[in-house]
Structure 1
Amino acid sequence: MKSKVVFFLTVVVCFLLQSTVMDLISIGSVTPNLMLVLCVSMGLMRGRKSGLWTGFLSGLLVDLFFGSIFGFYALIYMYIGYLSGYAHRIYYDDDVKVPMFLTAGADLLYNLAVYGLQFLLRGRLGLRTYLYRIIIPEMFYTVFITLIVYRLFRYINYRYMNIARKESESIWVLK
């Protein structure tokens, strides 16, 4: 029970930081995606099922407050959390390179999905402009934030959610 409360509070605090503080530290109207870092981190540290639920809850909050199509961001974040959970078995705690590469790849997939489903379907074909002005700067900025925030997520995971981690490694849980 304690781990679920800490999990929920972590998602809510990250959402609040994403929607308030991250807008203040934007550079050239590019903000880092803290919710994406959370989904990748939880999927990487705790497995596919936890990454899926983290992504779904994060995306649901984004959809409720900022989304134009309900369920769009929930689906994208859910897939990102689930796919990052595949690296759970090859993950080492102290190595920060794996979360950085996964965050870069997930941010690229996230932004391409947003471009494809929200801009391309409306007839806006400026992929090169979107790529150079939004996708690549946001990817680098999000990876930089991953260096800072990942250690905090790792501390929260091992300090407060250790019981849930044992449950995610059970053979009875969907893998």
Structure 2
Amino acid sequence: MKRVLIYGGILILMMFLQTSPLNFLKFFGARPDFILAAVIAIALFRGDLEGGIYGLVFGLLQDLLYGDILGINALGKFLTGYLAGYCTRILFRENVLIPIIITFLGSIFHEVIILAVLYFLKFDYPPFLFLARMIVPFALINSIMSTFLYKVFQKTRDAFL
């Protein structure tokens, strides 16, 4: 229960950062997704099931509070959190590069899921242009941010859990 409160509190803080003036800064045309980076960090520590659950809950909360299409972030963050947690079964998670690589690939995976849903809903997005101009910078920003978040979760785990 203590772990759920701590992780939930950190994710709520990430939701506030998501709407803060800090998120209005663009890096190469892309904004960081604090919630996605935190879900991936939790998944790396807690595994696939908890990563998927936190992704689903906070993705749905993000959809309810800020989204246009209900369930799109919930689906993307659930699948990304689950897959990132599943990777910990085969990768050594204490390696410093693992959170960076998993966050980079997870961010691309998340955005591809969003693009696929938008495509099936008949939204007109040029996928290759979007990939080159938005998704790669988005993944780079989230990867850089993940190093800090991973350290926060590591210190939280060592101090409280």
Q: TM-score under structure 2 normalisation?
A: 0.88
Distance of 1:124 and 1:4 partners within structure 2:
39
Mapped contact 2:29–2:137 kept (Cα < 8 A): no
Moved over 4 A (4+): none
- The verdict on how the C-alpha distance between 1:96 and 1:22 changes in structure 2, with shifts beyond 3 A counting, is farther
Aligned ranges for residues 2-151 of structure 1 at < 5 Å?
2-89=2-89, 90-93=91-94, 95-119=95-119, 121-122=121-122, 124-151=124-151
- 1:122 is paired with a residue whose SS is coil
What is the RMSD of the two structures over their aligned residues, measured on CA atoms? 1.9
Aligned residues: 160
Aligned to 1:154: 154
Identity %: 23
In terms of Rg, which structure is larger?
A: 1
- Give, in angstroms, the shift of residue 157 of structure 1: 2.7
Distance of 2:25 and 2:149 partners within structure 1:
15
Distance of 1:104 and 1:157 partners within structure 2:
23
Residue identity matched to 1:20 = S
- Give, in angstroms, the shift of residue 97 of structure 1: 0.7
Residue identity matched to 1:61 = L
Q: Is there any run of 5+ residues in structure 2 with no aligned partner, and where?
A: none
Q: TM-score under structure 1 normalisation?
A: 0.82
Distance of 1:59 and 1:123 partners within structure 2:
20
Q: Is there any run of 5+ residues in structure 1 with no aligned partner, and where?
A: 163-175
Farther-moved stretch of structure 1 (148-157 vs 41-50): 148-157
- Give, in angstroms, the shift of residue 21 of structure 1: 4.3
Distance of 1:24 and 1:125 partners within structure 2:
22
Distance of 1:129 and 1:120 partners within structure 2:
18
